[in-house]
Amino acid sequence: MEHIILYAIVPIIVVMLAGYISGKKGIFSGEDAKKFNKVVLDYALPAALFVSIVQATREMLAHDLKLSIISLVGIMLCFMIVYFVFLMFKKNTGADAAISALISGSPTIGFLGFAVLEPIFGTTPTVALVVAIVGIVVNAVGIPVGLSLLNASLEKQNPGSSKNKSAWAPVIHALEQPVAWAPILAVIWVLVGIPWPDWASPSFTLIKGANASMAVFSAGITLSAIKISINWQVILGSILKMIMMPAVLLIMGLIFHMDPLNLKMLVVAGALPPAFSGIIIADEYDTYVAEGTSSLTLSVILFIGFCPLWLWITDLCLAGSF
């Protein structure tokens, strides 16, 4: 556990704190954070996913089919549970519930996936596949579903106000993003059986190195730019994210006898703080911004304890000691 705290969690806190302080001092602003995020989502993360996956084999992809199915079903199940839970409360609109699902129903795999998983499990193609699979679920399935629910609610409240008329527009938009098509292209590359030349990797590795550090630093800047307020909805969102999602993934993985290492990585991925992309969407639509950002902040703090806790619980379950 000391190894996890020192090598996976402490570096995140230190870099995020540096971003937070720089934001408070005015060195960087919220607009700068958005630009950093764009570098991560459009360049660094796609490069990291692509170059890691193309070094895998067909056998590895076939072995991870169960991982893909459980990730899709488990994460989207939690996504919809969050949506309907927040929809139950009278003060919340359908748009509020959709933003809640995009935040508390999705892990921030793109921003923190490599930063957390690699120090714990090593720099391997398997780690990259977990990050890619969960990333595809979040970006190519969760975001389109969330945007569809969001736009449907806004259209119902104010006919003609919805930004995306077509229900397929969010899906197409998500698949157009490098963070979605880069891992898909890499998987196709491996399935076709095209050898990946060693000389091509350094060009991707250089920008890949900026992924985790820039993402975490940017998160600190973002947190410095908003006012945090903790209420019952913020606490509920954090509980659903930090407890329900990893628990659902763990139970499904045990029932369907997932590979132990894959299961541990998936549980940690599910325990990651809420998706930063949900905050970006909330800000764009000016919906549920304060509550969503506060839930993200609280979850980041809780992750310090929940990350080693879920690893310990998963080890106990795999060993049969419930």
Give me the chain's average pLDDT, please: 83
Instruction: Find the domain containing 169 and state its range.
Output: 41-194+227-319
* Rounded alpha-carbon distances, angstroms, from residue 108 to 113, 131, 249, 270: 7, 10, 16, 9
pLDDT computed for residue 249 by the predictor: 96
Domain count, the chain: 1
**Residues 120-154 pLDDT 10s:** 888 787 888 888 888 888 877 888 788 888 877 87
pTM: 0.79
Rounded CA-CA distance 27/31 in Å is: 12
**Domain-located, residue 200:** no
**Domain-located, residue 15:** no
**Domain-located, residue 274:** yes
The HSE-up count of residue 89 (CA atoms within 13 Å, CB side) is 13
**Domain-located, residue 209:** no
211: pLDDT confidence band, cut at 50, 70 and 90?
A: confident
Q: What is the CATH number of the domain that holds 252?
A: 1.20.1530
> Cβ(307)–Cβ(116) under 8 Å?
yes
Strand partners, 107: 274
| Structure tokens, 283 | 């800000």
- Please state the rounded mean pLDDT for residues 74-99: 90
**Domain-located, residue 109:** yes
User: Percent of the chain having pLDDT more than 90?
Assistant: 27
pLDDT computed for residue 4 by the predictor: 61
**Domain-located, residue 215:** no
The DSSP annotation for 248-307 comes to HHHHHHHHTT--HHHHHHHHHHHTSPBPHHHHHHHHHHTSSHHHHHHHHHHHHHHHHHHH
**Domain-located, residue 8:** no
What count of other Cβ atoms lies within 10 Å of the Cβ of residue 254?
A: 15
**Domain-located, residue 99:** yes
Question: What b/e sequence results for 141-177 when a residue is b if at least 16 CB atoms lie within 10 Å of its CB, and e otherwise?
Answer: bbbbbbbbbbbbbbbeeeeeebebeeeebbbeebeeb
